[in-house]
Amino acid sequence: MSKKLLLKDAHIEGIRYFDVYRKQGGYEALEKALKMTTDEILEEVKTSGLRGRGGAGFPTGMKWSFLAKPEGVPRHLVVNADESEPGTFKDRYLMEFLPHLLIEGMLISSFCLGSNVSYIYIRGEYSWIPDILEEAIEEARNAGFLGKNILGTGFDCEIYVQRGAGAYICGEETALLESLEGKRGNPRLKPPFPAVKGLWERPTVVNNVETIAAVVPIINISGAEYAKIGVGRSTGTKLISACGNINKPGVYEIDMTITVEEFIYSEEYCGGIPNGKKLKACIPGGSSVPIVPANLTLKTINGEPRYMNYESLADGGFATGTMMGSGGFEVLDEDQCIVEHTMTLSRFYAHESCGQCTPCREGTPWMYKILKKIEKGEGTMEDIDLLWDIQRKIEGNTICPLGDAAAWPVAAAIRHFRDEFEWHVKNPELSQKQNYGLANYADPIPATAAN
């Protein structure tokens, strides 16, 4: 049983509301933090080893320590709630069911960073959630935890919610800031980094919803205790949003010491694959991380069990490993077609490319078109090579990571499932009637592979 820090009270009726949240010890971390110095809070966050939960996994304490503090210039905390990575729906869960956890985390973080006006930028499609957040904000204000002179400490903090309007790219922090300034979501060149020139050219920290929520337990139990949970550099707990072909889709909190096998098959988590089907592949960290076949999902290339943490999921690099990413965990069973699935992801990235950089603007629709051609049984062997070539020319050649995010799923699909692509080319008619199936994707990893 994993230790729960964020979702420990999620089952309590009415936890959405201030009174219930407060009864469970809510806002005690804020009371504690307001008696600490800002350096002490920063030290706790650093000690905790907390890493950004949006996908990149950058150490949060380090990010905070980069924040420039020029005299007389306001600073801002911006919470990235533009959750749009396919497979990811954990921040939505936090905001819908535990809005006060986010608000409390924001107040502590704002105090530490010196932000008197902080923003939540939420994806536009989550259109019923701003009401929930704004209600929580008003409740916190009425209780004296938000607004002017919080708890008589002289610290002022306002929190505002802004909705986006349907653009995956706004999850990239500089695109988010552009959008928050009322512009198209075109990512900015870095440097300058947001920590120096962010929102309205002011020093800004942008953090994911789950990251900011995790600050609450860190202050409650101390950074050192938080760091004891988990393993290695994967400290604390992580929310995993599980979807695809599993019996129990949903949001789970794990302490990063369990194996992938346990996560997929145990009753506590995904509860296995429906209808007795077999595991074919898995995308464990949101659609942009490499897809891995069943055998490499459950084990590393060295035959060791694969664990649900940053290091173990990445074991083997992109050749045989994948990434923790955002924790958007998608399971594909033997009936799924890898070509078709990859095609939908490519369509997604083509749709979401902001159009600023040529390799991404031109490359993503080309990948989609070629995948569609292969999927329809009209592809050639050269198309597979062309696809490989295009993804290689996108990766690393764009201002923001959307290019990489679009290239990696295609690269991994060809790397591990090339035989399935070739089968589509060789069997144009048959491939329209049936799927390639499980093939040898679940076979044991050959002993020689370890060498």
Which residues bind to other proteins, rule: CB under 8 A?
Answer: 74, 83-89, 92, 117, 123-128, 160, 162-168, 179-185, 200, 241-245, 249-251, 283, 287, 328, 330, 332-333, 336, 340-341, 344-345, 347-348, 351-352, 354
Q: What length is written for the chain?
A: 451
Q: How many CA atoms lie within 13 A of 209 on its CB side?
A: 29
Amino acid at 306: R
DSSP class of 332: E
**Closer residue to other proteins, CB minimum distance, 119 or 145:** 119
| Distance (Å, whole) CA 355 – CA 68 | 31
**Closer residue to other proteins, CB minimum distance, 49 or 286:** 286
Q: Are strands 158-163 and 117-122 parallel, antiparallel or unpaired?
A: parallel
Alpha-helical regions (H) of 90-201:
90-97, 99-113, 129-142, 173-180
Q: Per DSSP, what are the bridge partners of residue 118?
A: 159
CB of 223 to other proteins, least distance (A): 30
**Closer residue to other proteins, CB minimum distance, 187 or 223:** 187
CB of 317 to other proteins, least distance (A): 23
CB of 35 to other proteins, least distance (A): 30
CB of 330 to other proteins, least distance (A): 5
Q: Per DSSP, what are the bridge partners of residue 75?
A: 115
Task: Give the pair of three-digit tokens for residue 86.
Answer: 């396919």
**Closer residue to other proteins, CB minimum distance, 3 or 163:** 163
CB of 342 to other proteins, least distance (A): 8
Q: Classify 35 as helix, strand or coil.
A: coil
**Closer residue to other proteins, CB minimum distance, 61 or 185:** 185
| Distance (Å, whole) CA 113 – CA 100 | 19
**Closer residue to other proteins, CB minimum distance, 59 or 124:** 124
CB of 165 to other proteins, least distance (A): 4
Q: How many CA atoms lie within 13 A of 363 on its CB side?
A: 26
